[in-house]
Structure 1
Amino acid sequence: MTTSGAGAALSHVGKVRSNNQDSGYSGHHLFVVADGMGGHAGGDVASAMALNRIIEADEPYPSSEAAEATLQSAILAANSILGDTVSKHRELTGMGTTVSALAVIGNEVAIAHIGDSRIYLFREGELSQITVDHTFVQRLVDSGRITAEEAMVHPRRSVLMRVLGDVDASPEIDTMTLGTQPGDRWVLCSDGLSGVVDETHITATLTEQLSAQRTAEKLVRQSLDRGAPDNVTVVVVDIVDEPVSDGEPVVVGSASKPVAFALTPSVKKPSLIPNSWLHPGRVTSLGNSHFEPASEDYLDELIEEDERRARRRRITWLVGLIVVIIAIVGGVVLGYAWTQTRYFVGGDADTVVIYQGIQQDVGPIKLSNVKEDTGIPLGSLSDFDRQAVDQTISASSFTEALDIVKRLRVTDDQ
């Protein structure tokens, strides 16, 4: 059985970014998403130049192995183009891009991937993430240090460990070949979707079985409805068991426009290792993220630093909690001490009593106690005095309480 792919591509600048640094492609045999980084000066250039080189590989492939090798070669060639461009235009230093590419060959797909854009497979109602994010937090998830849910809100969630750009002349590209079948739906997207819309909502949209174009539109709309803090690009590929009419390939995002940057090359200077690669943030993070080299020593240092930050946060919370507890306990102690400076005259079962404290209680905690039983029978008081004592008579001091009792005693004697 021979299958083919019918796709759609859509890209949107989002609600925060001033320009679109994503690029997407839906072709005859090849489908690609690239998410550029490098700030306003270079992110759009990086994704556009990379995609324009990679889509030259959109051709019938004799086998999935050949497709896999072709995609890897095309991506490495794109990486060389980016490096050469930066050497001639130093204002673009630090630009880079992610790439997720999928080629359809009969009943198989070849995949090539670097960065944190994603490829999903939707099959028989279930969504599976096929690619692995080349991010710092994914390393933490893989090592069991944090959960996938914690990774979504981790402060270093945008730190990329692998991208195309001007740092590594031969970056490691993940490649694989997987089987596919009619009814499969493949989704390629930038983190403007995956970092904003959770997989439950993505699955619900795919389950509606809309056309590829309508599905892409609805997924982009979901990101926009959630604030779309980043550019969002979606490519949807449907696997069918019938030939697909040869339409024109679709290019979206920054690659759909002429690549424009300064034409005057600057003198190449020795460069520092560019540890700050500007990259669109996710969801609540609107600041610039960055790329860090994926060496094991550096990764260990980054993990150690992250653990130190976590310990500092725990200590800060613990100190804050202790301060709050001390404040509450201190307030209770001071409050109780104040109540013991107050007095009132009331009655017990049959006599007039001077109480120390206040008339109210707090749950099971009594805020008053008997200071002195005067021995004056309640029955000997006038109706007016008896009612006053029953309702209690407040006094600001023990001396004032004794004066009140003295007046009651005089009334009792009369």
Structure 2
Amino acid sequence: MEMLTIGAFARACRLSPKALRLYDELGLLRPARVDPDTGYRYYAAGQLERARLVAWLRRLGMPLAEIRRVCALGSGAAAGEIRAYWARVEAETAVRRDLAAFLVDHLTQEPRRDTTVNTLELRHHAHSDRGRVRPANQDTAYAGGRLLAVADGFGPAGAPASTAAVEALRFLDTRETPAGGVLNLLEDAVRGAAQAVRDAADGTEEAGTTLTALVWTGSRLALVHIGDSRAYLLRDGELFRITHDHTVVQSMLDEGRLTPEEAVSHPQRTLLLKALTGAAATPASPDLRLHDAHPGDRYLLCSDGLPAVVPDDTIRRLLATAPAPDAAVHTLIAAANGAGGPDNVSCVVADVVETAA
């Protein structure tokens, strides 16, 4: 068996001798032989493939513990784990990418010299319905001049939890918030909502709520989102989902482990990865981002009782054809109930309209 010194092996696999010694200590890449007198490490030529894989995975930023697990798998399974790891990295960096883009725009944007006498405002409507199957309604929906919110409670104290989360944000409806500071304000508000949910749940870990809200700044809408309630934007006849579900099934879709068709009937499709719960642990961080508002935009916030039974293309059609927010809300809820209404369903619809100052 051909043996290579640690220096020669390091040059061949592009790992430093220092890294090779660390991987030996961690049990990740043991040398083929260690000289009993000098302690000098020797490696077999057949170990180069594993060493190169370790080097590539380190360049990806994969943690050593995960590299050890991947290296123990066969080629096909290892490829699947690498694909899943990279999907997680992309999902985790998406929020930071959006925030970075906002900061660049905010810091480089010249002061607006707007001579128009028109301003933008929201016209809105909210309604929550028990549905056709559930014995009680654990959703909360709210729409005001500056705050739009939907919360979907679950567990034995689900209704108080969803109410508490939305109530904790209500102060945002009565104060002007500049776009530059709204994300920090929202982050602080969610901490308050998390504490309110813990108080309402009285320490019950099984109880909690999702929370999806938009705060109006006069020209932009700031989004805060945690859980699997959703926010959509209808612009120029096209429907865009602007939230990402924090669910086990969505993470499996992101990682390529499930197809959209399989996700529909997956037994864990309602299992949340993030929510505001009665547990005492630090709350999961929400998604935060800003959206520029255009006249004619129509926003929809809804609990998962709507998209679970009404396809997105139907949601788009009903949103696009309803003449006003109240009509849109009641039409969407009727569609969910017409499809069996297996869950509570709540909708908030808001139009961005131009008005004379």
Question: Is this a same-fold pair by TM over 0.5?
Answer: yes
Cα distance in structure 1, aligned partners of 2:344 and 2:337: 10
- Runs of 4+ deviating beyond 4 Å: none
Q: CA deviation at 1:157?
A: 0.6
1:5 pairs, out of 118, 122, 133, with 122
Identify the residue that residue 168 of structure 2 maps to in structure 1.
53
1:37 pairs, out of 154, 170, 174, with 154
Which residue type is aligned with residue 130 of structure 2?
Answer: V
Cα distance in structure 1, aligned partners of 2:174 and 2:126: 18
Identify the residue that residue 63 of structure 1 maps to in structure 2.
178
The question of 1:218 aligning with 2:331 is answered: yes
Cα distance in structure 1, aligned partners of 2:314 and 2:158: 28
Cα distance in structure 2, aligned partners of 1:239 and 1:126: 15
Identify the residue that residue 20 of structure 1 maps to in structure 2.
137
Unmatched tracts of structure 2, length 5 or more: 1-117
Q: Where is the helix percentage greater, Structure 1 or Structure 2?
A: 2
Q: CA deviation at 1:165?
A: 1.3
* Conserved? CA contact 2:161–2:200, under 8 Å: no
Q: CA deviation at 1:85?
A: 4.2
Deviation readout 1:304-346 (Å, 9 max, x if unpaired): xxxxxxxxxxxxxxxxxxxxxxxxxxxxxxxxxxxxxxxxxxx
Q: CA deviation at 1:45?
A: 0.9
The question of 1:235 aligning with 2:348 is answered: yes
Percentage of matched positions with identical amino acids: 37
* Conserved? CA contact 2:142–2:348, under 8 Å: yes
Q: CA deviation at 1:48?
A: 0.8
Q: 1:242-253, aligned counterparts within 5 Å?
A: 242=355
Identify the residue that residue 258 of structure 2 maps to in structure 1.
146
* Conserved? CA contact 2:227–2:273, under 8 Å: yes
Identify the residue that residue 37 of structure 2 maps to in structure 1.
none
Cα distance in structure 1, aligned partners of 2:244 and 2:175: 27
Distance change in 2, residues 1:160/1:197 (3 Å):
same
Aligned length: 239
Cα distance in structure 2, aligned partners of 1:130 and 1:113: 10
Which residue type is aligned with residue 330 of structure 2?
Answer: E
Identify the residue that residue 105 of structure 1 maps to in structure 2.
217
2:187 pairs, out of 59, 69, 72, with 72
Unmatched tracts of structure 1, length 5 or more: 245-414
The TM-score, its normalising length taken from structure 2, stands at: 0.64
* Conserved? CA contact 1:83–1:169, under 8 Å: no
Q: CA deviation at 1:243?
A: 6.4
* Conserved? CA contact 2:234–2:319, under 8 Å: yes
Q: CA deviation at 1:93?
A: 4.1
Q: 1:114-133, aligned counterparts within 5 Å?
A: 114-133=226-245
* Conserved? CA contact 2:162–2:197, under 8 Å: no
Deviation readout 1:46-104 (Å, 9 max, x if unpaired): 10111111112213434223222222211211111222444xx45x4421000000012
Deviation readout 1:201-225 (Å, 9 max, x if unpaired): 1111112142100010000000010
Q: Secondary structure at the match of 1:172?
A: coil
Cα distance in structure 1, aligned partners of 2:271 and 2:308: 13
Cα distance in structure 2, aligned partners of 1:33 and 1:243: 30
Which residue type is aligned with residue 78 of structure 1?
Answer: A
Cα distance in structure 2, aligned partners of 1:161 and 1:120: 21
The TM-score, its normalising length taken from structure 1, stands at: 0.56
Which residue type is aligned with residue 331 of structure 2?
Answer: K
Identify the residue that residue 297 of structure 2 maps to in structure 1.
184
Cα distance in structure 1, aligned partners of 2:162 and 2:124: 20
* Conserved? CA contact 1:184–1:238, under 8 Å: yes
Which residue type is aligned with residue 47 of structure 1?
Answer: S
